[in-house]
Structure 1
């Protein structure tokens, strides 16, 4: 073969970094002594990519404690490749502090790294430094003969025959990169506005109003939101938390002794959503004692059974009852083994009957009611999902204290080890997520519920939210929030089911959430081109990939032999490109499978003398 084998990886963020780490780990077994060029394409520096880039406000945090963040595999990851251990974020910071690791960073960021403790919530730019170091380590451990070439730019399209070399066209470059394999690790995507947002934007333009569509908050132009003016905000998740921070502390406000001291530059944020409450606080304590033996009711065998069914799966009918029972098992295992004084029977007795009862049956509910006397100790996922269902307030003023009481109670519970069954449910959510990824596109509800329950803001952020509420900078709208465009009066109006009959008016509306991943509306030119070239998409717009190795599926159902994709825009979307140590890391498993498939393909190509390149 006259040319070196070539792999092009589009996307240099955590997912691309993780793939290169897995290539380095697996190459000694599958590709020893062979040559390979890896071309890494991204407009942003490798490691952090766009979302975790270093050039963003130091006020923006991760929503995980440092001890809960790692980019390295361990023996809980179900993978074929070898474990290559490495430090979690807090251990890496300790290595920097103690001189075992050298990091190139400006003095302010270096001081932040050295001060980081395991239960601190680091800034995103600190995480960028960690990801950059992980990338450098991954590249440095690649065997001799494997070389990474970085391209700071955008990939526009992939062309080439199924049986031959691919061409990856880059913005501003006349000649394409020629590749034997292409892997897309693009991460979160921009999207064209949905029809509703197009109409709202046109309404805003007609009347001189402001409408900010779904976007990455750190990239939004918030200067159009004026001091003292009311702003309606739809969305109460992590995008809202970023918005809250940038419009308060980011405009000169500060916190003193639990109170917020305004700068006078803040708008007034009227925030509402479907649930009407913020995501649950991150749990503020670690695990102690026996872990629940998971998976129990939604393991690989049950997932295979679901996949083997001839009729399409209905998530609520076929899958959710198993998830409900799995999470219930995690909850009650912890309650019975760690807080037995709040139960009436021994765990083995309860476990046997719980396992035998059908999900969501009257038998199961009666068993739980008899064994767990206090309703507050029982797991009710529907109540968790809709905490304001049928709750009504006579006015928005009355709602404010009610929501503050709710948030305070959530903070108290999520930081109290006496309720460690909540942490067990979190572990159950991670386990369930790892199985549900294999089912493909199961709709957006599950991913939203997972984030609401398991991926909420740090506790300190909710304390800040309470302070902002007391200061009148944030006002709560309630659940079932709706927004109207009043054409006659030229104003936005917001109402909710929680305060029926009352409306808030504003000249600005912010959609505080990320764009939905959709091939049909994506602004990624390379994904647009793939879709036009025949790549399959689900009804909700996700790129269809093979669950085993991430190969992109065509509309005929065939996996493309030379094109792969990993990330949230695919049917194998994982909960995150990094995770807490010793929780299985589904994304790590995917990275490993794709790396091994790619290395095996390239090795076999070399062994065949390159005959498979003839159609290039």
Structure 2
């Protein structure tokens, strides 16, 4: 590659491509080490989004009805000691209730401030390149990035923290996109929610269908109701007249996720003992390097006694054998133990979250698993896990998200109220037949039929490299520098995020962190993972490589 048109700056600098919370966490981890080492460095951040640190997921201008699925008491993303920023809970203007679930935009403003503070510290000079990167190549001088039709560099290190790039639609969504162009139906996306909120102002009196019944569906429901002037009071919903006439959420099994325990005291009932946590940490470290069956046995041996003890303490009628049987089914066919309908699942989940009824085995397993996420990542992520074992453990973790990633119980109660008010119907929630019509979509389930003029897609695509539409990532794959961990998974990376290419070797100084590395890492969707061990391992790798 020739150098015509390339920048002529010193090579001892790095580039970060994409700078939401994960890019911020990585830069903070690096700054903490460079301040100790006293090594000068400059950083170019490439991101067309202007709110660095927050990223689109936590856009400071996002609709205020969008909330985190983590209560304030569980948000542990304190900044490193070198910064002047307080922890998030201290930064909030009003003393919050520890059981509150903050706004996404609120957290975004905090992260944006943390990035600004890091830039002002001067540990390294940061330049924001407000542009997208289209290609990456390496020569004897280092890495070069093609952005805005110009090769820029050289860089000693390039870190990719891209979040979720555009992905090729699945067959159903691709068909619906074509249909929306030739019919009067409207196909909309869940996010940005602020944009959806503006679209929703024109949907009064219409029937709206929501593809997906996970966390995003709760944001959508608020966007279409309270953000349009409706209100909740004493467990009832009062229409404004500007919301849709009827909203129809649906998914494959039709069950909403289970809410988290409502208060700190209720949540404490699911706290593993220190010994149980130590046992699990040892088990998952061994499981990550074992065969698939051995991994299952190791996880079961740690989970079963802890969950059985908690269930006894909560007055549930389930012993260790019942827990073991439940786990056996979960490994093979996640969720098949649950036979309740959509409304019963919603009501039972609220009752368990409130402490009004004893937890089910699944609810207890999910809460314990949530509390062991850091141990899970710490044992799995640095290990060169066999693909079959990785798929088994990641599949188990993904399946349990219906419990461990649940919404606040207040959101589940809002769904209850919307159902009672006739705004939401669960009649089509479990895998309905869907036909395309000139007016939009026809949903059918048993003897029920409904015509929807608007379809909202709320399904988060899988981080499958083959489906990702990114010139940068496609180019790296063509060059053999980026390979999938396994079919249908994300990138193959080393413990510090270094990309492993077709030859089984890592390209020096080219790293990737985040959900696009699913398979090499697990549980990467968590906010806490952005400021955890993965960022620290990457920062240590940079310092080691650059001396």
Larger of the two Rg values belongs to structure: 1
1:493 and 2:442 equivalent? yes
1:460 and 2:410 equivalent? yes
Q: Contact 2:11–2:141 (CA<8 Å) still a contact in 1?
A: no
Match of 2:62 among 56, 64, 83: 56
Offset of residue 237 of structure 1? 0.7
Separation of aligned partners in 2, 1:229 and 1:597 = 54
Offset of residue 71 of structure 1? 2.0
Partner of 1:358: none
Separation of aligned partners in 1, 2:486 and 2:191 = 22
Separation of aligned partners in 1, 2:324 and 2:138 = 59
Partner of 2:400: 450
Offset of residue 490 of structure 1? 6.8
Separation of aligned partners in 2, 1:128 and 1:10 = 19
Say which SS state the counterpart of residue 569 (structure 1) adopts: helix
Offset of residue 128 of structure 1? 1.0
Comparing 296-305 and 196-205, the one that deviates more: 296-305
Match of 2:249 among 267, 271, 290: 271
Partner of 2:111: 131
> Measured at CA, do residues 121 and 168 of structure 1 come closer, stay the same or move farther in structure 2, by a change above 3 Å?
same
Measured against aligned partners, the alpha-carbon deviations of 1:467-492 in whole angstroms (never above 9, x if no partner) come to 111111111146641443356x7753
CA RMSD of aligned residues (A): 3.7
Say which SS state the counterpart of residue 27 (structure 1) adopts: helix
Offset of residue 539 of structure 1? 4.5
> Measured at CA, do residues 601 and 36 of structure 1 come closer, stay the same or move farther in structure 2, by a change above 3 Å?
same
Partner of 1:507: 453
Map 1:6-405 → 2, pairs under 5 A = 6-29=13-36, 32-44=37-49, 45-72=51-78, 88-93=87-92, 113-140=93-120, 143=123, 146-161=124-139, 164-171=141-148, 174-212=150-188, 217=193, 220=196, 223=199, 226-267=203-244, 268-286=246-264, 287=268, 291-295=273-277, 299=281, 303-304=285-286, 307=289, 313=292, 319-335=295-311, 338-339=313-314, 364-365=321-322, 381=330, 385-386=335-336, 389=339, 403-405=342-344
Q: Contact 2:215–2:407 (CA<8 Å) still a contact in 1?
A: yes
Partner of 1:406: 345
Measured against aligned partners, the alpha-carbon deviations of 1:295-343 in whole angstroms (never above 9, x if no partner) come to 567545664565365xxx5xxx56445444433333124345x45x768
Measured against aligned partners, the alpha-carbon deviations of 1:242-273 in whole angstroms (never above 9, x if no partner) come to 11111111222112222111122222111121
Measured against aligned partners, the alpha-carbon deviations of 1:186-215 in whole angstroms (never above 9, x if no partner) come to 112222322332122223433332334686
Partner of 1:524: 470
> Measured at CA, do residues 480 and 555 of structure 1 come closer, stay the same or move farther in structure 2, by a change above 3 Å?
farther
Say which SS state the counterpart of residue 14 (structure 2) adopts: strand
Aligned length: 518
Separation of aligned partners in 1, 2:112 and 2:179 = 43
Separation of aligned partners in 2, 1:177 and 1:368 = 55
Gap regions ≥5 residues in structure 1: 75-81, 94-112, 345-349, 355-363, 370-374, 392-401, 580-584, 604-616
Separation of aligned partners in 2, 1:119 and 1:259 = 22
Match of 1:596 among 514, 533, 540: 540
| Greater RCO, 1 or 2 (C-alpha within 8 Å, sep 6+) | 1
Separation of aligned partners in 2, 1:228 and 1:545 = 48
Measured against aligned partners, the alpha-carbon deviations of 1:444-477 in whole angstroms (never above 9, x if no partner) come to 7445423211111111111111111111111114
Partner of 1:582: none
Partner of 1:614: none
Say which SS state the counterpart of residue 190 (structure 1) adopts: coil
Q: Contact 1:551–1:560 (CA<8 Å) still a contact in 2?
A: yes
Offset of residue 567 of structure 1? 0.5
1:415 and 2:354 equivalent? yes
Separation of aligned partners in 1, 2:279 and 2:337 = 26
Q: Contact 1:67–1:88 (CA<8 Å) still a contact in 2?
A: no
Partner of 2:512: 565
Offset of residue 220 of structure 1? 4.9
> Measured at CA, do residues 308 and 326 of structure 1 come closer, stay the same or move farther in structure 2, by a change above 3 Å?
closer
Measured against aligned partners, the alpha-carbon deviations of 1:409-448 in whole angstroms (never above 9, x if no partner) come to 3112113297595643432455335444444662774454
Gap regions ≥5 residues in structure 2: 1-8
TM-score when scaled to structure 1?
0.74
Q: Contact 1:11–1:184 (CA<8 Å) still a contact in 2?
A: yes
Q: Contact 1:331–1:425 (CA<8 Å) still a contact in 2?
A: no
Say which SS state the counterpart of residue 57 (structure 2) adopts: coil
Partner of 2:376: 432
Match of 1:474 among 411, 424, 432: 424
